[in-house]
Structure 1
Amino acid sequence: MTTDLLQIELRKAERSRIQEVDFNNLPFGKHFSDHMFVADFVDGQWQNQQIVPFDNFTLSPALSSLHYGQAIFEGMKAFKNEAGEVLMFRPLDNVKRMNESAHRMCMATLPEDVFMGGLEALLRVDADWVPSTPGSSLYIRPYMFATDTYLGVAPSKTYRFCIFTCPVGQYYSNPPKLKVETDYIRSAPGGTGFAKCAGNYAGSLYPTLLAQQQGYDQLIWTDAVEHKYIEESGTMNIMFVIDGKLVTPALSDSILRGITRDTLIKIAKTMGIEVEERKVSIAEVVEGIGNGRLTEAFGAGTAVVVSPYSLIGFNGQDYMLPEHAPSDSIALKLKEQLDAIRTGKADDSFGWVYKV
């Protein structure tokens, strides 16, 4: 895709903050790049497309999204290859998923040229912010929120779309400890669990805090009806290695359709690893850890990439997961291949990599 930059107004920052960042020590989500892309949906169309300095918004106290929660977002990453070129990974899948979220939340959908045009223009302007250090990347946050100033409960007629970026390192510095949640729920059948909307994450904060107070890092969410079957984790889809097979909960309207999840499934199949997408019960996981049939459990997501778990807590008991050398771990082999594709070191037979 070739972006017509004449359609996007550019207002550059007077001074770059890039010298303030230690690219060898990047916390996740703390440093923000110099610019952001902004567009507004008004009178039935997207307009006022701009690249502007990263800064605060001035918002009305009556902004409908602050009261009724019409807000959605995506998570993406950009990388540099050995030639210094900026690469994105599966961005069109993010466009598709964002519009699925927008449809569920009664929000305006985004034309591909607005999303991709703004994204590509932004990455050209802030290309120096894309890290080249191993294990680092430029995290990209596209998001949209309602902008009507009206206190009636109804879908907004106006929206703001924004993209900003931040250079990041690893999300988890150590393998996380997970607690199986059997009281609270993340989503229910017929709800918004498949949408990447702000409310899903707001509702998860309190039970996650309770788990962290008990020494865990994140939750494993179970189904809302029986609390019997595993769905996903707080910041990631969840995968297991059982009897040498890659096993993951089948998608439903209460599970996010993870792009990294889909990527790992496709990579696994090319590596000759059998994949099962099906219901996975807590009982099967606990029993599998005990009898050695379950050898790995890990999270998959844009932020965490592939994150092996150290233990799973259930009903007051912690079940330790075995440690593996990289050469013996299916999770780490998948991560290595994914990293190689995203950074241009391996052949991209799927057409996933998008060069800016």
Structure 2
Amino acid sequence: MNIAAHFPLNATASPTSNEARAEKLVNPGFGRVFTDHMAIAHYSDEKGWHDLAIAPRQPLTVDPACAVLHYAQEIFEGLKAYRGADGGITMFRPEANARRFRKSAERLAMPLLPEELFVESCRALVSAERDWIPTSEGGSLYLRPFMIASEIFLGVKPSSDYIYMVIASSVGAYFKGGAPAVSIWASETYTRAAPGGTGAAKCGGNYAASLIAQAEAIKLGCDQVVFLDAVERRYVEELGGMNVFFVFDDGSLATPPLSDTILAGITRDSLIALARDRGITVREEKYALDQWRADAASGRLVEAFACGTAAVVTPIGQVKASSGDFTIGSGGPGQLTMSLRESLVAIQTGAAPDPYDWLDRIA
């Protein structure tokens, strides 16, 4: 496919100099260094999708009555592009993000972006911004596709107009010196999502709802928050932005089953495939907080970890809760956790073969 077929490049007149870009890439951190261009497309009920382009990145100008500002009709995605050891550039499973983006759009009553256009927009942007991919270990280009309701109208109804964009951010390794074990706060007060709600959609409202619990976690000395189900307030669902896995002394894995309250993580799906191909039993089943505490105390549970696009795999060492704190295993990163992480990162970066056809080679 000609990646410029639908997203032609309208290059910026003021590109970042090679010297300035190199300085930014020395220590980019996460989500703070942005490239010169973005993909953009518009939608209206009359025209459908139109005016697709790779354009200079610039501030948006929206009317104070723009629908997204009042009714939060918005969705987004997150994926990465990597520079391999051979100098080639790949994206990791963009078609899976495209499918999830369509599902999110359907749940939020937004127009469905064709999956091929989603992938093409990401490929075209990465191609234009390939020099922004850090060469340091753990570096990548993080892509943030998103869509907002842009109709100028005050009224509770689906918008008639939308803007789709993809911005790109140069990012370094999420954790310096390896992935440390984090402590998490199990919120028994706040919930992230309820049955029938938007928990399985990747929309900003889910994350906004998690922030008060995340702030509570930080105040209590924890790194992250994990949420329980909204009905019984017992079963572990997911962290504020990551899925969660449990490792048992028989070598098996368990993770909460997908539902309309849990986001179908692409990293989650990838880890399940890797584990099962190793012959590891992976159960998708409900797991209660009191079970988690008891299994950690008895030694039946030996490891736990969270996973997502940004940090890939994050070991969990300690859980704090109003009903009682507990430590998992030694409190540090577990052996299987780190082994699965290393296997996935090796595929993502091209350091290991890709038997699953997960990598989309751009150059």
1:113 to 110, 116, 128: 116
Deviation at 1:172, TM superposition (A): 4.9
Correspondence for 2:298: 291
SS of alignment partner, residue 114 of structure 1: helix
Correspondence for 1:255: 262
CA separation in 2, counterparts of 1:6 and 1:204? 37
Deviation at 1:171, TM superposition (A): 3.5
CA separation in 1, counterparts of 2:231 and 2:219? 26
Q: Does 1:329 align with 2:329?
A: no
Correspondence for 1:201: 207
1:312 to 291, 305, 319: 319
Q: Which residue identity is paired with 2:222?
A: Y
Correspondence for 1:224: 230
CA separation in 1, counterparts of 2:239 and 2:208? 14
Residues 108, 275 of structure 1: alpha-carbon distance in 2 compared, 3 angstrom cutoff: same
Correspondence for 1:137: 140
Q: Does 1:41 align with 2:38?
A: no
Q: Does 1:159 align with 2:162?
A: yes
Deviation at 1:2, TM superposition (A): 3.5
Deviation at 1:7, TM superposition (A): 5.1
SS of alignment partner, residue 54 of structure 2: strand
Q: Does 1:99 align with 2:102?
A: yes
Give the alignment's Cα RMSD to 1 decimal.
1.7
Q: Does 1:245 align with 2:252?
A: yes
TM-score (norm 2): 0.93
Correspondence for 2:33: 31
Q: Which residue identity is paired with 2:329?
A: P
CA separation in 1, counterparts of 2:128 and 2:245? 37
1:148 and 1:158 in contact (8 A); partners too: yes
CA separation in 2, counterparts of 1:230 and 1:68? 29
Q: Which residue identity is paired with 1:32?
A: F
- Could you give the per-residue CA deviations for residues 54-85 of structure 1, whole angstroms, max 9, x where no partner exists? 21011110000100000000010110111111
CA separation in 2, counterparts of 1:223 and 1:95? 27
Correspondence for 2:12: 12
SS of alignment partner, residue 341 of structure 2: helix
Deviation at 1:210, TM superposition (A): 1.6
Q: Does 1:279 align with 2:286?
A: yes
SS of alignment partner, residue 84 of structure 1: coil
* Percent identical residues: 40
Residues 48, 9 of structure 1: alpha-carbon distance in 2 compared, 3 angstrom cutoff: farther
Q: Does 1:301 align with 2:308?
A: yes
1:17 and 1:33 in contact (8 A); partners too: no
Give the gaps of 5 or more residues in structure 1.
none
2:149 and 2:161 in contact (8 A); partners too: yes
2:72 to 66, 69, 72: 69
Residues 283, 7 of structure 1: alpha-carbon distance in 2 compared, 3 angstrom cutoff: closer
User: Once structures 1 and 2 are overlaid, which stretch shifts more, 342-351 or 148-157?
Assistant: 342-351
- Could you give the per-residue CA deviations for residues 265-319 of structure 1, whole angstroms, max 9, x where no partner exists? 0000111211111001111110111111111111110012000012111226331
CA separation in 1, counterparts of 2:7 and 2:217? 48
Q: Which residue identity is paired with 1:336?
A: E
Correspondence for 1:147: 150
Correspondence for 2:361: 355
1:12 and 1:51 in contact (8 A); partners too: no
Residues 176, 324 of structure 1: alpha-carbon distance in 2 compared, 3 angstrom cutoff: closer
Deviation at 1:221, TM superposition (A): 0.5
User: Once structures 1 and 2 are overlaid, which stretch shifts more, 10-19 or 259-268?
Assistant: 10-19
CA separation in 2, counterparts of 1:144 and 1:17? 30
Give the gaps of 5 or more residues in structure 2.
none
